[in-house]
Amino acid sequence: MSSEPGQSVAHRQPTRPWRGLALLTFPLIVLALDVSVLFLAAPALSRDLGASPTELLWITDVYGFCIAGFLIVMGVLGDRVGRRRLLVIGCLAFAGASVLAAFAPNAGLLIAARALLGLAGATLMPSTLALIRVLFPDDGQRQQAIAIWMTTFSASVAVGPVVGGLVIDQLWWGAVFLFPVPFLVVFAALAHRALPEERAEDPAPLDLPSVGLIAGTMLGAAYAIKSAAVGELGVLTVAVFVVAVAAGVVAVRRQFTTAHPLIEPTLLTNRRLLAGLGLLLMGITAVNGFYFLVPQYFQHVQGRSASATGLLMLPLAIAAVVASLSVPPLLGAIRPPFLVAGGATLSGAGFVVLALHSGPLPTLTLTLLGCAIVAGISAIGVVMTDLVVGLAPPRHAGAAAGLSETAGELGVALGVAIMGSISVFAYRTAVQTSPTPLDPRTRTAISDSIATARTLADNSPPHPNTILDVASTAFISGLSWSAIAAAAAMAVCVVLALTILRTTQTPPPEE
């Protein structure tokens, strides 16, 4: 068999596409659960590991930032070494890092283990998405497969708090890392029979400078955003951010000048693809900020247990499933730009109502708003993921999948960093300016976080209800300001969908 250098070459066994897709959900579910499974673990991590608020942010978010930092690299690496092979290696590495995380004796080692999980996780998503394109060459079947793929991911992120809450209440926080290990081992054993192998024949050399520049951009941005989130805006933070931006600019320019670019330059000049990536980034940032803040409202404002909070998040998972699976039939009647604009409008309306609601939020109201928000953004995710993967030539499927998932994972991390930072700033401002009389020491203590306020109220205060009233009112203020920012992002999504996606035409991808 011969082919031109760099052409995509598949090594197939007799493969049943839908059976292969079912197997591909194994690593995807594990990867998605790890995004949100620790959202309810903050009290346990603070108690058992002595983790500070800053360390808690890193434990939650370093996973997503490391995935985002290496997704493009791993997507391209899969094009070269084989997507199935890289997927199996990544699953086994993820299993090993999960064991390290489960038994981490302190916060520092848990952060390191979560970073290793992110590095291993970066091999999984672009490989699964690229293999879906191989398994389903027909456009209609590919749309259905991507809808199922996106549904699996969205539902698993939403179910993460349910699983985390139940496991933490019944066992201990480390157990949340152990239960995926058997699934990953089973996947590694079955992948060779159920999945085709595909790679680029005679691939170009891997451009190591681009690898370093892209990873440096993502990880530098992660450090700067996380530092800013906890109020550390010194010279070092600013310098790291400037260096990260400069590295990103150099990385993009290098793709147009080097003989062997890491990312196909035509992918970086396609306006529809870039608009799709922007829509993915904004949508997932908004919804993941919601996923991060709402469990805190249920736990710390309403005083619910971790398992009860997780169960209250279950309707959001159902909304994500229904919305994602509804996209393929809807695309037969509604053009993609209008479907995306409709989803953004639905989510934006939910955020607006959340922002305008004054006082404590009834559980039913918050659940219904959450279902609307999640449903709209889930629809955006399916349409935009299919657009990005479908626009790329087959031999660059891994790179395109890496770009798509970089936007998604960066959105996951930014949801916590940006939306969390807005909420924290508004919360602290509201506590400090509250007219309720509090002694300065108590006011300073509860300004740290609502978790600290509830601990203080439960353990030692002379007036617990006063402390909880001030903290709850402040947290609702922070939630409202975060919702305003998310609503603004949804408005931008509507504009992008009705302008660039609607008017820009792209020639079909080369084969």
Among residues 269, 253, 273, 299, the alpha carbon closest in space to that of 385 is found at 273
pLDDT-based confidence at residue 6 (cuts at 50, 70, 90): very low
Q: Which pLDDT score is estimated for 506?
A: 44
CA 455 – CA 464 distance, rounded (Å): 10
Q: What are phi and psi of 431, to 5 degrees?
A: -65, -45
Give residue 509's pLDDT band: very low, low, confident or very high (50, 70, 90).
Answer: very low
Of 89, 104, 95, 85, the closest CA to residue 34 belongs to: 95
Which pLDDT score, from 0 to 100, does residue 351 have? 93
- Give the range with max mean pLDDT: 387-396, 443-452, 464-473: 464-473
User: Once rounded to an integer, what is the mean pLDDT over residues 12-21?
Assistant: 66
Look at residue 202 in the predicted model and tell me its pLDDT. 63
pLDDT at 474 > cutoff 80: yes
* Mean of pLDDT values over 458-483: 78
Q: Which residue has the higher pLDDT, 348 or 426?
A: 348
In whole angstroms, give the CA distance from residue 416 to residue 157: 14
Number of H helices, E strands in the chain: 23, 2
pLDDT at 87 > cutoff 70? yes
Structure-token match 């879906």, residue found: 132
Q: At what angle do helices 271-296 and 420-433 cross, to 10 degrees?
A: 40
Distance CA 424, CA 479 (A): 9
175-201 pLDDT tens trace:
778 877 888 888 888 877 777 766 666
Instruction: Determine the pLDDT at residue 352.
Output: 93
Give pLDDT, residue 491.
Answer: 93
What pLDDT is attached to residue 91? 85
Residue 3: per-residue pLDDT: 38
- Phi, psi (rounded to 5 degrees) for 14: -60, 110
pLDDT at 42: 65
Instruction: Give the per-residue pLDDT at 35.
Output: 67
Q: What is the mean pLDDT of the chain?
A: 77
Q: Which residue has the higher pLDDT, 432 or 344?
A: 344
Coil/strand/helix, residue 9: strand
Q: How many CB atoms lie within 10 A of CB 466?
A: 15
Predicted local distance difference test score (pLDDT) of residue 271: 77
CB atoms within 10 A of CB 362: 10
The DSSP H or E segment spanning 421 is helix 420-433
In eight-state DSSP terms, residue 362 is P
Residue whose C-alpha is closest to residue 230's, from 475, 97, 423, 65: 423
Q: Report helix angle 397-414 to 271-296, nearest 10.
A: 30
pLDDT score, position 39: 64
Would you state the pLDDT for residue 150? 73
pLDDT in tens, 135-178: 777 767 777 787 787 777 777 776 776 777 777 777 777 777 88
Least confident of 152-166, 203-217, 339-353: 152-166
Looking at residue 446, its pLDDT comes to 77
Q: What does the pLDDT read at residue 218? A: 75
What is the rounded average pLDDT of the residues 124-130? 75
Taking the C-alpha atoms of residue 231 and residue 234, their distance in angstroms, rounded to an integer, is 9
Confidence class for position 203, pLDDT limits 50, 70, 90: low
Each residue's pLDDT tens digit, 240-297: 889 989 998 998 888 888 887 777 777 777 777 788 788 888 888 888 788 778 888 8
Domain 11-206+262-503 top-level CATH class: mainly alpha
Q: Which of 270-274, 371-375, 444-448, 506-510 has the highest mean pLDDT?
A: 371-375
Buried b (16+ CB within 10 A) or exposed e, 243-281: ebeebbeebbebbeeeeebbbbebbeebebbbbbbbbbb
The C-alpha atoms of residue 188 and residue 174 are separated, in whole angstroms, by 23
pLDDT in tens, 398-429: 566 667 767 776 776 677 777 877 888 888 88
User: In Å, how far are 42, 50, 51, 455, 503 from 47, measured between CA atoms?
Assistant: 9, 6, 8, 11, 54
The pLDDT score that the predictor gives to residue 503 is 63
Q: How far apart are CA 123 and CA 113, in angstroms?
A: 16
Q: Phi first, then psi: what are they for 8, rounded to 5°? A: -75, 130
DSSP calls for 222-256: HHHHHHHHTT--SHHHHHHHHHHHHHHHHHHHHHH
Domain boundary assignment for the chain:
11-206+262-503, 207-261
pLDDT tens for each residue of 477-500: 888 898 999 999 999 989 888 888
pLDDT of residue 120 exceeding 80: yes
CB atoms within 10 A of CB 433: 9
Confidence label for 81 from pLDDT (cuts 50, 70 and 90): confident
